[in-house]
Amino acid sequence: MFQDKKVVFSGVQPSGSLTLGNYLGAIKNFSAFSDEYRCYYCVVDMHAITVRQNPAELRRRTYDTLALYMACGLDPERNVLFVQSHVPAHAELAWILDCYTMFGELSRMTQFKDKSAKNADNINAGLFTYPSLMAADILLYQTELVPVGVDQKQHLELSRDIANRFNGVYGDVFVVPEPYIPTTSAKIMSLAEPSKKMSKSDPNENAVIRILDDRDTIVRKFKRAVTDSGCEVRRGEGKEGIENLMSIYGAVTGKSFDEIEREFDGRGYGDFKLAVGEAVADSLEGVRREFARLSADKKYLEEIMAKGASEAARAAARTLGKVKKKVGFTDIRY
């Protein structure tokens, strides 16, 4: 079924409750690749431990993230859904790639600087070499296309550099991946600080819409969203808050900015915030129902984990075997 298909890879960390930004900017769009590509979608739990995690919470969120993948439309029969730590080849290739990644490259990574500032008491080696593991995630599957947000593009560029460097020494071992940044995908900003991206780690709960928030919570958060001192629902300088709400409303209704401006011409922010909240709640209702059904069946989720890990491991072994031979490692059967 998957012969001759190009490969898409992406992953989501189980390090917090996923947000509307994760849904609209990434997961909602993943299923669109299933017809034309061989798709690997991973719960990247190994990446999550660069920051200290509560073990029980990390395990629970790993199950939840897999359930959310499926609740958001990813069919496990048409996509390979798996947990990163279930495929040891990720860690093994990451070490090899560490040896082909320059210190200066890693030290320039914006995410390392940001997380170091936030976790000054835990600036660990894993946090520093995180991009090499990300490169291993992608290159293991001979990935052609990686759906990424603008904030992750720097890491993908490093993955491309590592692949090209390795290929330059040993020949065409890795496919060099291309980024896929959909121009129509909404970039969802914080409801409290519209100049910042909506983040699942934001301590201000009113700034974040979580996929699993109930209807009343979603509507309440939108009612409290920061806008400006005006009253017109339209784009313009100094109207970052209202423009963010317009982006969200457009993403869930399919309406353009011009259509939104006409729809709310002469109506105030109160009406608009309520409409955005209700539209978002409506769009997530089916996801929440399906998540509740899936998350109640732990045995089924573990079956999907095992099936996905088996399929991913077979593909990863082909690449890892080639890499180990190229660098000069010996091989035995035992």
143-166: buried (b, 16+ CB within 10 Å) or exposed (e) per residue? bbbbbbbeebeebbebbbbbbebb
Q: Active-site residue 197, yes or no?
A: yes
Catalytic residue among 5, 6, 197, 324: 197
Residue 189, sorted as left (phi over 0), alpha (psi -120 to 50) or beta, turns out to be beta
Distance CA 120, CA 320 (A): 35
Active-site hit among 28, 115, 239, 273? 115
Q: Environment class of residue 299 by beta-carbon count within 10 Å: exposed (0-12), middle (13-18) or buried (19+)?
A: exposed
322 an active-site residue? no
**Lateral strand order in the sheet of 37-43:** 80-83, 37-43, 6-12, 145-147, 178-180
Rounded Cα distance between 146 and 178, Å, is 6
Catalytic residue among 200, 223, 322, 324: 200
| Known catalytic residue at 5 | no
**For the chain, what percentages of helix, strand and coil (3-state, to nearest 5) are there?**
55, 10, 35
Question: What amino acid occupies position 98?
Answer: D
Render 151-165 in DSSP notation, one character per residue.
GGHHHHHHHHHHHHH
Asked if 297 and 67 count as a contact pair (C-beta separation under 8 A), the reply is no
Give the residue numbers marked as catalytic: 115, 197, 200
